A and B are shown apart, each in its own frame.
Chain A
Amino acid sequence: DTGVSQNPRHKITKRGQNVTFRCDPISEHNRLYWYRQTLGQGPEFLTYFQNEAQLEKSRLLSDRFSAERPKGSFSTLEIQRTEQGDSAMYLCASSLTSVSGLGDNEQFFGPGTRLTVL
């Protein structure tokens, strides 16, 4: 499968625990995005990387959230001290976009990681 992959697909954790999700984008895609989707809503932007550089973070990304893309390939999203309000589907997407960012191209989404915080 050459699409975007995410692991794990499901994660159940207790409030206060830390969790880490992984996203493997389509190879050669230089942009990688993280979104959060709650039931009945559209995906909400969290952050994105251009290669290994994290270029933008949403105000939704509190200081408990951190994302990395150390080698410009896979990315991890960590949530520390999880809260029940963090329960959601976490989606990763990748795209091949010019450095200038002009004329954005299709974002391909992964299957998501469903987080449940008890």
Chain B
Amino acid sequence: GENVEQHPSTLSVQEGDSAVIKCTYSDSASNYFPWYKQELGKRPQLIIDIRSNVGEKKDQRIAVTLNKTAKHFSLHITETQPEDSAVYFCAVHGSARQLTFGSGTQLTVLP
């Protein structure tokens, strides 16, 4: 089955700095790569996603890059704000037609 690895598990940045979270996957047939943000006690919410026919996608302060050859993708958050503090999960939709999630990154933005 699909194997998704996410790094780092914790990340602290100063407000205004950038944050980068990386994920690798194993199934070369994977075609959809969403990122979810989960605040404590709340449901996961999609913040950005990318499909396998695109290398990069940006939405305001958030961007995702995909390297299909290397089978890794990254989340980039610029100009971080305290409200960006949360757990971020990458996920991969592969040939198994289900989402496999990474283990999460606890992002803390220090004021």
Known: A48-B98, A103-B31, A104-B97. A110 touches B104 (CB 8 A): no
State which of A15-23, A39-47, A65-73, A79-87 sits at the interface with chain B: A39-47
Helix, strand, loop or mixed for chain B's interface?
Answer: strand
Give the complex CA separation of A81 and B102 in angstroms.
30
Give the complex CA separation of A55 and B51 in angstroms.
23
Whether A45 and B100, one on each chain, are in contact in the complex, defined by CB atoms closer than 8 angstroms, is yes
Give the complex CA separation of A111 and B40 in angstroms.
12
Residue of A nearest to B32 (CB): A104
Give the complex CA separation of A102 and B95 in angstroms.
10
> Residues of B contacting A112 with CB < 8 Å?
43
Give the complex CA separation of A55 and B32 in angstroms.
19
Query: Which range contains the number of A residues in contact with the other chain?
Result: 20 to 34
User: Is there a chain A Cβ closer than 8 Å to B89's Cβ?
Assistant: yes
**How distant is A57 from chain B, measured CB to nearest CB, in Å?**
10
User: Is there a chain B Cβ closer than 8 Å to A56's Cβ?
Assistant: yes
> Residues of A contacting B96 with CB < 8 Å?
56
Which residue of A45, A91, A111 is within 8 Å of B98 (Cβ)? A45
Give the complex CA separation of A44 and B51 in angstroms.
21
Known: A33-B99, A104-B97, A108-B46. 16 other contacts (CB 8 A): A33-B98, A40-B103, A41-B103, A42-B89, A42-B91, A42-B104, A43-B101, A48-B97, A56-B96, A91-B43, A91-B44, A103-B51, A104-B32, A106-B49, A110-B43, A112-B43
